[in-house]
Amino acid sequence: MPHSPKEIIQSILPNSYQATQETAQAFAPANIALIKYWGKRDKILNLPNTSSLSLSLGNRGTTTQVSQTEKQDVIILNQQHVNPESHFYQRLVNYLSYFRPHPTFYFHIETQNTIPVAAGVASSSSGFAALVKALDIYFDWRLPLHQLSVLARLGSGSACRSLWDGFVLWHKGEEEDGLDSFAEPMTLTWPDLCVGLLMVDQSPKKYGSREAMNHTVETSPLYAYWPTVVEKDLASMVKAIQVRNFSAFGQILEGNACAMHATMLASRPAIIYHQPQTLALIDQIQRLREQGLSIFFSQDAGPNLKLFFLATDLKKVQKNFPTLEVVVP
Ligand code: PMV
């Protein structure tokens, strides 16, 4: 049974392969979890304790170009060379090392985000997904998407959901090697569902989702209840999307995000991603809702909020949140 990322990746990739073109490029959308992934049963393989459900952000995401270079891997992020000493570089190179066709093959990776990095807006999700898509083209593996989803998951859990547009379900899987833990697109659509990004702070967050998640699992007395919350929320969310019941959708969405943050608040010491402005915005959203405007929020591992509303309310929402970046997935 293969259990290290390298062995698992080797079991998916062809025995030998080489670049079939000079350069390859791919795009992957960022995704926002409607029902969150929080907590792993395997930290090395990014195997989750629960399934999760996301919505992809259309043309907001990452475009990545792969080619070969000499001597050492080169990573260019948003037109800037990434310092080889940085955590970002090390993490990516560690991941890339699983894919070298031979030990002295070095990658030149150029990546461009249309979404802020490390601000809790799921940029790592589209990053690893775009990278595996580009590698697949570059080496002509022609892997099915669910296998690319496994590869992306080994880079960052939520990345396994960024291989598709629309609503995407990540099955937690049961196997120890995680080959059954991949995402899949749902056949459901909701054309007038809108998402807006409410940026509070674009600087890198205090703690990464990886550390925060592990700390919560290890120390939060409320975490034990989280899998039960997710199971219920996931089933009700699928129903709400099927019948396009926006108010049920919004209540489950918001409740699930708040429950995730509650597990973090109860961890010791507490993990608090909320900033004063995050709370002020939540208050504003709740007041507007009392006045009849149907808007709901979600929040990930950062202080920023995602607003959900229907296209009919777009003008009103924009009037109340002039800085909102609207995405119609
Ligand atoms: O995939 P990671 O390690 O960046 O974790 C993502 C965690 C959340 O964004 C908070 C939830 C999710 O399901 O995307």
Checking if the pLDDT of 2 tops 70, the result is: no
Find the radius of gyration of the CA atoms of the chain: 20
Checking if the pLDDT of 327 tops 90, the result is: no
Checking if the pLDDT of 100 tops 60, the result is: yes
Q: Report the range of poorest mean pLDDT among 41-45, 56-60, 134-138, 238-242.
A: 56-60
Please report the pLDDT score of residue 324 as a whole number. Answer: 92
- Which atom of ligand 1 approaches the CA of 52 most closely? 13
- Which atom of ligand 1 approaches the CA of 37 most closely? 13
- Which atom of ligand 1 approaches the CA of 260 most closely? 10
> How far apart, in whole angstroms, are the C-alpha atoms of residue 235 and residue 53?
10
Q: What are the phi and psi torsion angles at 110 (to 5°)?
A: -120, 125
| Interval between CA 155 and ligand 1 midpoint (Å) | 12
Q: What is the 3-state secondary structure (H, E, C) of the chain?
A: CCCCHHHHHHHHCCCCCCCCCCCEEEEEEEEEEEECCCCEEECCCCEECCCEEEEEEEEEEEEEEEEEECCCCEEEECCEECCCCCHHHHHHHHHHHHHCCCCCCEEEEEEEECCCCCCCCCHHHHHHHHHHHHHHHHCCCCCCHHHHHHHHHHHCHHHHHCCCCCEEEECCCCCCCCCCCCEEECCCCCCCEEEEEECCCCCCCCCCHHHHHHHHHHHCCCHHHHHHHHHHHHHHHHHHHHCCCHHHHHHHHHHHHHHHHHHHHCCCCCCCCCCHHHHHHHHHHHHHHHCCCCCEEEECCCCCEEEEEEHHHHHHHHHHCCCCEEECC
Checking if the pLDDT of 3 tops 90, the result is: no
Question: Average pLDDT, whole number, for the chain?
Answer: 94
Please report the pLDDT score of residue 119 as a whole number. Answer: 45
Please report the pLDDT score of residue 256 as a whole number. Answer: 98
| Interval between CA 158 and ligand 1 midpoint (Å) | 5
Q: Which residues have CB under 6 Å of ligand 1? A: 33, 36-37, 52, 122, 124, 156-158, 209-210, 300-301
pLDDT tens-digit profile of 144-185?
999 999 999 999 999 999 999 999 999 999 999 999 999 999
| Interval between CA 157 and ligand 1 midpoint (Å) | 7
Bridge partners for 63 per DSSP = 27, 112
Model confidence band, residue 118 (pLDDT cutoffs 50, 70, 90): very low
- Which atom of ligand 1 approaches the CA of 210 most closely? 3
Q: Whose CA is nearest to atom 9 of ligand 1?
A: 300
Model confidence band, residue 131 (pLDDT cutoffs 50, 70, 90): very high
pLDDT tens-digit profile of 7-34?
999 999 999 999 999 999 999 999 999 9
Checking if the pLDDT of 227 tops 80, the result is: yes
| Interval between CA 271 and ligand 1 midpoint (Å) | 15
Record the pTM. Answer: 0.95
| Interval between CA 122 and ligand 1 midpoint (Å) | 7
pLDDT tens-digit profile of 185-196?
999 999 999 999
pLDDT tens-digit profile of 287-306?
999 999 999 999 999 999 99
What value does the mean pLDDT take over residues 42-65? 96
- Which atom of ligand 1 approaches the CA of 120 most closely? 9
Please report the pLDDT score of residue 205 as a whole number. Answer: 72
| Interval between CA 105 and ligand 1 midpoint (Å) | 31
> How far apart, in whole angstroms, are the C-alpha atoms of residue 122 and residue 262?
20
| Interval between CA 28 and ligand 1 midpoint (Å) | 16
Of 149, 205, 209, which is best to mutate to test ligand 1, by the most ligand atoms within 8 angstroms of its C-beta?
209
> How far apart, in whole angstroms, are the C-alpha atoms of residue 186 and residue 171?
12
Which amino acid belongs to residue 314? L
Of 32, 37, 156, 169, which is best to mutate to test ligand 1, by the most ligand atoms within 8 angstroms of its C-beta?
37
Model confidence band, residue 203 (pLDDT cutoffs 50, 70, 90): confident
| Interval between CA 38 and ligand 1 midpoint (Å) | 7
| Interval between CA 57 and ligand 1 midpoint (Å) | 15
- Which atom of ligand 1 approaches the CA of 156 most closely? 1
pLDDT tens-digit profile of 249-266?
999 999 999 999 999 999
Model confidence band, residue 206 (pLDDT cutoffs 50, 70, 90): confident
| Cβ atoms within 10 Å of 54's Cβ, excluding its own | 28
Instruction: Show the tokens assigned to 28.
Output: 């992957």
Of 38, 57, 153, which is best to mutate to test ligand 1, by the most ligand atoms within 8 angstroms of its C-beta?
38
Checking if the pLDDT of 117 tops 70, the result is: no
